[in-house]
Chains A and B, each alone.
Chain A
Amino acid sequence: MALLNVTSPHAHGPLSTATVMQLVLLATVPGIAALVWIFGAGVLVNLAISAAVSLACEAAILKVRGRPVGFYLKDYSALVTAILLGIALPPYAPWWVVAIGACFAIGVAKQLYGGLGYNPFNPAMAAYVVLLISLPVQMTQWGAPFSNPAMGLGDALASNLFGSVDAVTSATPLDALKQGIGEAGQTFGSLGGFGWEWINLAFLAGGLYLLWRGIFTWHAPISMLIALAVMAFLFPNEAQGRIHSVLFHLFSGATMFGAFFIITDPVSSATTPRGKIVFGALIGVLIYAIRHWGNYPDAVAFAVMLLNLAAPFIDQYTQPRTFGHRGARS
């Protein structure tokens, strides 16, 4: 009987990078399903283009950098970035918008900083912000909820690639709120934005699954949602009451997607438990501040990028106490 001389620790976590990424991909499925149900097949076309360009870009840059291509492609991190970006983009955006975003996310925001684990910004959100400030027209044309599901995959493909099929677009609920247009039942649903409440519930479900599997801790998402809710309660929209304001902001736009899939990125967010609470809460406050007083209808990407920059600073001041020591840094 061969006895392997194995040193501690003897308990191994079954979670490798690839497993974690696969679980995250799995958890996006309900959200993607809700998006397809409400906005039609354009979402799938976006995801496909984003994934193809991201993987090609990742492979090309890894090759130039002289890194093992297969090894890094198999950790699924590029695919996760691609899917998160594809979800964030408007469903009927032209194909080149998606392609530029994917190239920027992987090429600049991830690989130029040194690849997985070295990126200070969330790649998907960096690409989203670049696209949003560069191509405001293409980036703000969201499909109207429940108006385009009749379009098959072929029509959606034609719309994205050639612009030959017109998709019906409308202001998003957050945009309508900002501009003071929109009416109950059409723009505002019973919980959040019309249509968007289901998307947010679906992402909430996926996020709770990841939380249950222990992919991330509760600190960042919960503190972000609480901060957003408190802000919405303190400074409600004129058109809605306090309680309705809170529900509306929790279940509109990218709130749940951001809370469970973006700010929980282990690389670019704060890492200490107390740090995660501060990180999430500040993002929640910023999201509401920009939504309510700023120029943009939604603000998850901006808030996340700003706090990504502050994450090392937050970590510095929230280091946990070492066991047996009185102060944190003694």
Chain B
Amino acid sequence: MSSPSYSELTLNGLWKNNPALVQLLGLCPLLAVTGSVVNALGLGLATIFVLTLSNSAVSLIRHFVTDAIRLPAFVMIIASFTACIELLMKAYAYELYQILGIFIPLIVTNCSILGRADAFACKNPVLPAAYDGLIMGMGFALVLVVIGGLREVIGSATLFDNMQLLFGAGAESWKIVLSEDYPGFLVAILPPGAFLVVGFIIAAKNVVDAELKRRADARREKPVPGAQRARVTGHIS
């Protein structure tokens, strides 16, 4: 089986087969930690890291692991990389690590990572597998950040608050306050807000897809009135 091209992988990961919006995998962290951009970005980066490395490692061992024990092997690999990112975050972004809490170790159980290992990495060479992990991770992180941004704006009228947790003290000034006397709309930051925002984003994606499909259909050549259908059997070569 030949690997899909890189542009195809890119389109799949970011849009057509986006883990968060189409596969609807990994919704637990998606809903739980997207209260602000910095939380979303922190978890998104961690997921990209784990997904890229686990895809590469799974691809490397794909000839040596039999089908029967592949899932435990994948989980071991994913768990090791998750432990790495956990230790890294403890060392370099300890406050953010404390905010994200249990959701960093829970990356192990993120279905989108195991899903990519089983659906793609174990059937493809290292480079496409690594690229797929990177792009799928980016697709996931992108959705996380968009949800985090929307919830932060609706909930408290700020954007990029607390970015110093991820980018050092210089990032403190990145905070944008959209309205000084905003009363706050708490439901956006609470869990129901996550469900609502994800729902609206998925709906928006479906609207865009429907519109693209309508345009593609309109561009397709219409059969000339009176034309007759030719029936072709067998194949030429």
**Which A residues have a C-beta under 8 Å from some C-beta of B?**
108, 130, 133-138
* Whole-angstrom distance between the Cβ of B155 and the nearest chain A Cβ: 9
CB neighbours (8 Å) of A135 from chain B are: 183-186
- 18 A-B residue pairs with Cβ-Cβ distance under 8 Å, sorted by A, are A108-B196, A130-B187, A130-B192, A133-B186, A133-B187, A133-B190, A134-B184, A134-B185, A134-B186, A134-B187, A134-B188, A135-B183, A135-B184, A135-B185, A135-B186, A136-B186, A137-B183, A138-B183
Which residue on A lies nearest to B155, using beta carbons? A134
Q: Identify whether the interface residues of A are mostly helix, strand, loop, or mixed.
A: helix
* Bound complex: CA A108 to CA B187 (Å): 14
* Whole-angstrom distance between the Cβ of A225 and the nearest chain B Cβ: 30
Which residue on A lies nearest to B199, using beta carbons? A112
Which residue on B lies nearest to A130, using beta carbons? B187
* Bound complex: CA A136 to CA B196 (Å): 20
* Bound complex: CA A130 to CA B183 (Å): 14
Interface membership of chain B positions 186-215, coded 1 if the CB is closer than 8 angstroms to chain A and 0 otherwise: 111010100010000000000000000000
Nearest 8 A/B pairs, CB to CB: A134-B187, A134-B186, A134-B185, A130-B187, A133-B187, A133-B186, A135-B183, A133-B190
CB neighbours (8 Å) of B187 from chain A are: 130, 133-134
* Bound complex: CA A126 to CA B149 (Å): 25
**CB under 8 Å from chain A, chain B span 112-142:** none
> Looking at chain B, what size class is its interface with the partner chain?
under 10
* Bound complex: CA A138 to CA B186 (Å): 12
CB neighbours (8 Å) of A134 from chain B are: 184-188
CB neighbours (8 Å) of B186 from chain A are: 133-136
* Whole-angstrom distance between the Cβ of B144 and the nearest chain A Cβ: 23
Which residue on B lies nearest to A138, using beta carbons? B183
CB neighbours (8 Å) of A136 from chain B are: 186
* Bound complex: CA A133 to CA B196 (Å): 15
* Whole-angstrom distance between the Cβ of A119 and the nearest chain B Cβ: 15
Which residue on A lies nearest to B187, using beta carbons? A134
* Bound complex: CA A283 to CA B93 (Å): 47
* Bound complex: CA A136 to CA B183 (Å): 10
* Bound complex: CA A108 to CA B190 (Å): 17
* Bound complex: CA A259 to CA B196 (Å): 29
* Bound complex: CA A8 to CA B179 (Å): 64
* Whole-angstrom distance between the Cβ of B201 and the nearest chain A Cβ: 14
CB neighbours (8 Å) of A137 from chain B are: 183
* Bound complex: CA A133 to CA B186 (Å): 6
16 new A-B contacts at CB < 8 Å, known A135-B183, A137-B183? A108-B196, A130-B187, A130-B192, A133-B186, A133-B187, A133-B190, A134-B184, A134-B185, A134-B186, A134-B187, A134-B188, A135-B184, A135-B185, A135-B186, A136-B186, A138-B183
Which residue on A lies nearest to B188, using beta carbons? A134
* Whole-angstrom distance between the Cβ of A308 and the nearest chain B Cβ: 15
CB neighbours (8 Å) of B196 from chain A are: 108
CB neighbours (8 Å) of B185 from chain A are: 134-135
CB neighbours (8 Å) of B188 from chain A are: 134
* Bound complex: CA A156 to CA B183 (Å): 22
* Bound complex: CA A134 to CA B188 (Å): 8
* Whole-angstrom distance between the Cβ of B80 and the nearest chain A Cβ: 41
* Whole-angstrom distance between the Cβ of A32 and the nearest chain B Cβ: 27
* Bound complex: CA A1 to CA B185 (Å): 67
Which residue, of A108, A130, A135, has the highest number of chain B Cβ atoms within 10 A? Answer: A130
* Bound complex: CA A134 to CA B183 (Å): 9
* Bound complex: CA A108 to CA B185 (Å): 16
* Bound complex: CA A287 to CA B186 (Å): 23
CB neighbours (8 Å) of A108 from chain B are: 196
* Whole-angstrom distance between the Cβ of A102 and the nearest chain B Cβ: 15
